[in-house]
Amino acid sequence: MSIWRFADWFDASAVDYRITLGEGNTPLVRSRSVGPRAGIENLWFKLESVNPSGSYKDRFAAAAISDMLARGKTRCLATSSGNTGSALAAYCAAAALRCDIAIVETAPDGKLKQMMAYGANIFRVRGFGPDPRVTSEVFELLNAAGKSAECMLQISGYAFSSVGMSGVQTIAYELAEQSSRIDHVFVPAGGGGLTLAIARGFRKLQQISRATIGPAVHCVQPSGNDTIAGPLRTGQNAGRVVQCQTQVSGLQVPTVIDGNEVIVECRGSGGNGHLVDDTAVWEMQRRLTREEGIFCEPAGAVAAVAALQAVQDREITPHSTIVCIVTGSGFKDEVSLNRMLDTNTCPMLDASQARAWLLK
C-alpha cells in the first residue's frame, strides 16, 4: 500500500518509474485527552509522523523522484529546513540518484544527520530561512542551477514542484476514506504547500463525484511567520513577506510561496487563518506526548493549538469533527525534545538502588 493506489487522481509517473518506501496510509487517531479536556467531542490526529522518513514529505518525495526517473534526470537539487531534505535523500537513495541540498540556517541537527545518513550532500546557508532577502537569493540560485540537463529542482511547494506536491494531496484522499464526516481540517503552514495540497485534494474529490462537500481547511502559522494566516483572516487576497521570528523549525518561511493560492482555496472551503504563539506550541507538543502518546516535532503540534483556540473563541462548535495534521516525528528535533524534558535525565543506579527504586 502506498500513495500510488491513488495514481489516477494526481500527476502520477508511468508505472515502470514509480518509487515507493511504503509512504501514506497513515493512521487517523481519536484524541483521548486533549480534545475531551477542551470539550471537543471529535478531535482527531492524522499521524503523518509515521511515514518512512518521519514526515508527510515522503508523499512529496515519492511523486517527485518518480517523476525525475521518468524524465531521465540523475541529480536532485533541493532546499530544505529538514523534512523535505530527509525525504528526498531517502527516495534518492532508493532510486540511486545524486541528492544535493541547500539547508535553512536554523535546521535541527537531527534532520541534517538523517539526510547525510541517506548519502545526501548538504550545506547550510547563513540567513537562509529567517531573512527574506537571503531566502529569495538562494531560491534564485537554485532555480538557475536546476536548469542543467541532468538536474531537477525539488522544493516542496506548488510554485516549484507541482508534480511532487500533487502526491501530498493523497492526505485528503485517505481522510475521506477514514472518516465519513470531517467538518474542519487544521493544517500547519510555512510556505503553504501542505495546506494547499489538502484543500485541492478535497476539491478534487468533489470534482470526480467522490464527495458532495469537503471540510473547511484552515491555515495555521506561528505568529512569528505570518505570511498567509493573517491575510486570510483579515480578508486580504495575497500573502506577504515577513522577517521571520518564530523558532518553530520547518515553519520558518518568510517569503510567499504558495500563500496566494492557499488564501483562495481555504477561503473557498470555508476555512480561516489562525496564528499561534511559540510557547503554546511547545506546551502542546508536550501534551500530545504525555497525554496522547503522540511523539511529534513542534510543527506537528501547531494545528492542535489552533483547533483548541478556535473552539475556545467560539469560531467553530465543539460538536464538530476536527482533524489536526501531525506533520513530523519528535525524533527529528533534539532541541525541542530537550526543551520538553527540561531538567529530566535518566539516572544511573547500582543494583541495590534499583531495588529500592522499584519497591518505593
Per-residue model confidence as pLDDT tens digits over 29-57: 999 999 999 999 999 999 999 999 999 99
DSSP 143-190: HHHTTSTTEEEE-SSTTT-HHHHHHHTHHHHHHHHH-S---EEEEE-S
So what's the pLDDT on residue 172?
Answer: 98
Spatial contact of 305 and 285, defined as CB atoms under 8 Å apart: no
Listed by start position, the domains of the chain span 3-55+164-335, 57-160
H or E stretch at 292: none
> What is the average pLDDT value for the chain, to the nearest integer?
94
Per-residue pLDDT tens digits for 129-158: 878 888 888 888 888 888 889 999 999 999
Spatial contact of 299 and 252, defined as CB atoms under 8 Å apart: no
Checking phi first, is residue 39 left (phi over 0); if not, alpha (psi -120 to 50) or beta?
left
Spatial contact of 246 and 130, defined as CB atoms under 8 Å apart: no
* % of the chain at pLDDT higher than 90: 76
Could you give the C-alpha distances from 277 to 130, 196, 221, 225, 243, in angstroms and in order?
17, 22, 9, 10, 16
* Class level of CATH domain 3-55+164-335: alpha beta
Q: Which CATH architecture has domain 57-160?
A: 3-Layer(aba) Sandwich (3.40)
In the predicted structure, residue 332 carries a pLDDT above the cut 80:
no
Structure confidence at residue 116 as a pLDDT band (50, 70, 90): very high
Burial environment of residue 72 by CB neighbours within 10 A (0 to 12, 13 to 18, 19 or more): exposed
Burial environment of residue 45 by CB neighbours within 10 A (0 to 12, 13 to 18, 19 or more): buried
